[in-house]
A and B are shown apart, each in its own frame.
Chain A
Amino acid sequence: MALTKEQIAKRIAQELQDGFYVNLGIGIPTLVANYIPEGVDVVLQSENGLLGMGPFPFEGEEDADMINAGKQTVTFLPGSAVFDSAMSFGMIRAGKVDLTVLGAMEVADNGDIANWKIPKKLVKGMGGAMDLVAAAKNIIVAMQHTNPKGESKLLPRCTLPLTGVHCIRKVVTDLGVFDITPDGFKCLEYAPGVTIDEIKAKTLGRLVIADDVKEMAV
C-alpha cells in the first residue's frame, strides 16, 4: 500500500535531529510537526517572521497578529522570537535553518525542483520557495510519486519552470525514500506493500536501488 500523507510526514519526521531549526512548507510538510519524535527538540521557523511556532490555538484564542506562512492562526511556544521578513530570509540565506521540507510538482534526478508555475495556467507565485531552495543546507521534498494523471513526478529533467537547481537532497513519496546522488534517485526504502518493480515503473528519472534497501518503518 502506498503511504498516506500522514505516513509521508511521519517518515520525514524521523529525519529531524535534536537542535534542528526547521522550516516546513505548506501541505504535507506542515503535517511533519505532528510527528516530531519524543526527545527530539526542534524549533520551527515560519518565514513570515517566527521561530518557535507552536500548535494551532484553541478555539476562541486565535490572534490575528499570530499567523504562520500559510496565514493560519498559530501559537508561540516559550522561547519563541518574532522578527521581520528581511531577517527571516536573512537567516535562511545565511544557512542557519538546518532543514527545509517542501512540496513539489516535479523533481529531477540532478536535484532540480519545479513547484511554482504551470505555463498557461494561472500563476500564483513562488512565495518563499525560491529563497528556501537556493539557500537551505538540507532540503527534503515531500510529495506523491505520481501526479493525478498517474505520470511520474521523479524525472530525468523538470519540464515545468524551475524553482531551484541542484538543490534537493532527499525525496519522500508515498512509494519510498530516495536520496539524490550522482547516479540519480537512489531508493533507500520502499513503502510497506510496494514493490521495487512498481517504483521502477513509476520513476522516469535515473533510478538505482540501494544494496541495503529496506521496508520503510512507519
Chain B
Amino acid sequence: MKKVVSGADEAIKDINSGATILFGGFGLCGIPENCIAAIVRKGINNLTCVSNNAGVDDFGIGLMLHGKQVKKMISSYVGENAIFEQQLLSGELEVDLIPQGTLATRALAAGYGMPAVWLLAGIGTEVAEGKETRTFNGKEYVLEEAFDADFAIVKAWKGDTQGNLIFKGTARNFNPMMAMAGKITIAEVEELVPAGELNPDHIHVPGIYVKHIFQGVNYEKRIENRTTRKPPTP
C-alpha cells in the first residue's frame, strides 16, 4: 500500500478540468494550502468547489478565483472576497448557498454511505423550495442529498503513512467529513510520521478514507480576523 506521495503536485495530478472537489477548512482555518497552490499551478478550470467559504482575495480558494478556475461554488458563506463578488455579478461564477449544517451533513452522509438525509434547516425558506419534504413527529423536514464528488482535499495536523489523520483545534471543522466524502481523498499534513507513531485511540479519520497523503511545506496559516485583548494591568 503506497499512500505517501512526494507533494501537492503529484497528489493532485489526476484532478482535471471539470472536476468536483470537496475542500476542508473554515474561513482560512485548516485549509489545504499546498494543494490549492498546486491547482493554481496546474491551471485546470471549470471546477465545482464545495467549501464552507471561498477564501479571501489573495489566499485560499480566492487564489483559484483569480485564474478563473472555478465554475461553481457550493458554500454557506462567501462574504470576505471581492473577486468572488465581481465574478458572481459578471456571471462568470455560479454559486449555490446552502446552510452550514446542511453542507456538513451532506458530506457526512456521503462518508457514511447514505444517499440522503432529512434535515430541518431551510424549511419554510427558499432553500427547501422544490425539494421533497416529509413530516416526522409533527415536524417538517427537507430531503437533502449526499454530495457526489470525485475528489476531496483536506488538511490535517498530523498524519501517518497509513493515511490516518489527526486535526488540531478548530482547524478540524469540515476536514473530517470532507475526507470521508470524497471518492478520492487527498490529505496534506503538517507532520507526516511512520505508521505506529500515532496512538490509534487519537485518530480522527482512519486511513481507509485517504488515498494520497503528503508532508505539506511552508504553511502560512494566515489568520483572517486577528483579535486580541489587552493584558491585565499589573
Using CB atoms, name the residue of chain B closest to A50: B170
By a CB distance below 8 angstroms, the chain B residues around A36 are none
User: Of B28, B105, B108, B229, which contacts A71 at CB under 8 A?
Assistant: B28
Chain B 75-107, CB within 8 Å of chain A: the 1/0 string?
A: 111111000010011000001010111111101
By a CB distance below 8 angstroms, the chain B residues around A1 are none
By a CB distance below 8 angstroms, the chain B residues around A162 are 124-126
What count of chain A residues pass the 8 Å CB interface test?
A: 53
A67 and B171 alpha carbons, distance in the complex (Å):
8
Chain A 163-202, CB within 8 Å of chain B: the 1/0 string?
A: 1111000000000000000000000000000000000000
A143 and B230 alpha carbons, distance in the complex (Å):
28
By a CB distance below 8 angstroms, the chain A residues around B30 are 65
Confirm or deny: B127 has a beta carbon within 8 angstroms of a beta carbon on chain A: yes
**Which residues of chain B in 188-226 are interfacial with respect to chain A, using CB atoms and an 8 Å cutoff?**
204, 221-226
Does the CB pair A67–B229 fall under 8 Å? Answer: no
Does the CB pair B177–A128 fall under 8 Å? Answer: no
With contacts A67-B225, A125-B79 known, is A164 near B124, CB below 8 A?
yes
With contacts A56-B229, A66-B169, A128-B101 known, is A135 near B29, CB below 8 A?
no
Confirm or deny: A146 has a beta carbon within 8 angstroms of a beta carbon on chain B: no
User: Of B89, B120, B157, which contacts A134 at CB under 8 A?
Assistant: B120
Closest Cβ of chain B to A166, distance in Å, is: 8
Using CB atoms, name the residue of chain A closest to B122: A130
User: Which of B122, B221, B222 lies at the interface centre, i.e. has the most chain A CB atoms within 10 A of its CB?
Assistant: B122
A13 and B218 alpha carbons, distance in the complex (Å):
43
Give the size category of B's interface with A: 35 or more
Confirm or deny: B32 has a beta carbon within 8 angstroms of a beta carbon on chain A: no
A130 and B78 alpha carbons, distance in the complex (Å):
15
**Which residues of chain A in 17-51 are interfacial with respect to chain B, using CB atoms and an 8 Å cutoff?**
46-50
A163 and B114 alpha carbons, distance in the complex (Å):
27
Confirm or deny: A73 has a beta carbon within 8 angstroms of a beta carbon on chain B: yes
With contacts A65-B221, A128-B99, A128-B101 known, is A56 near B227, CB below 8 A?
yes
Could you tell me which B residues sit within 8 Å of A by CB distance? 26-30, 52, 75-80, 85, 88-89, 95, 97, 99-105, 107-108, 119-127, 157, 167-177, 204, 221-231
Confirm or deny: A147 has a beta carbon within 8 angstroms of a beta carbon on chain B: no
By a CB distance below 8 angstroms, the chain A residues around B119 are 93
With contacts A85-B173, A130-B121 known, is A122 near B85, CB below 8 A?
yes
A127 and B76 alpha carbons, distance in the complex (Å):
5
With contacts A56-B228, A85-B177 known, is A128 near B170, CB below 8 A?
no
Using CB atoms, name the residue of chain A closest to B169: A65
Does the CB pair A93–B101 fall under 8 Å? Answer: yes
By a CB distance below 8 angstroms, the chain A residues around B29 are 48, 64-65, 67, 71
By a CB distance below 8 angstroms, the chain B residues around A58 are 228-231
User: Of A59, A63, A65, A164, which contacts B125 at CB under 8 A?
Assistant: A164
**Which residues of chain A in 43-85 are interfacial with respect to chain B, using CB atoms and an 8 Å cutoff?**
46-50, 55-59, 61-68, 70-74, 76, 82-85
With contacts A126-B77, A165-B123, A165-B125 known, is A47 near B170, CB below 8 A?
no
Does the CB pair A65–B170 fall under 8 Å? Answer: yes
Does the CB pair A127–B231 fall under 8 Å? Answer: no
Does the CB pair B97–A73 fall under 8 Å? Answer: no
By a CB distance below 8 angstroms, the chain A residues around B226 are 62, 72-73
Closest Cβ of chain A to B136, distance in Å, is: 13
With contacts A50-B170, A59-B228, A59-B231 known, is A126 near B108, CB below 8 A?
no
Confirm or deny: A209 has a beta carbon within 8 angstroms of a beta carbon on chain B: no
By a CB distance below 8 angstroms, the chain B residues around A50 are 170
Closest Cβ of chain B to A55, distance in Å, is: 6
A133 and B222 alpha carbons, distance in the complex (Å):
31
User: Of B89, B157, B172, B222, which contacts A83 at CB under 8 A?
Assistant: B172
Confirm or deny: A88 has a beta carbon within 8 angstroms of a beta carbon on chain B: yes
User: Which of A50, A63, A65, A86 lies at the interface centre, i.e. has the most chain B CB atoms within 10 A of its CB?
Assistant: A86
Chain A 97-136, CB within 8 Å of chain B: the 1/0 string?
A: 0000000000000001000000000111111111100110
By a CB distance below 8 angstroms, the chain A residues around B228 are 56-59, 61-62, 73
Does the CB pair B27–A65 fall under 8 Å? Answer: no
Closest Cβ of chain B to A17, distance in Å, is: 24
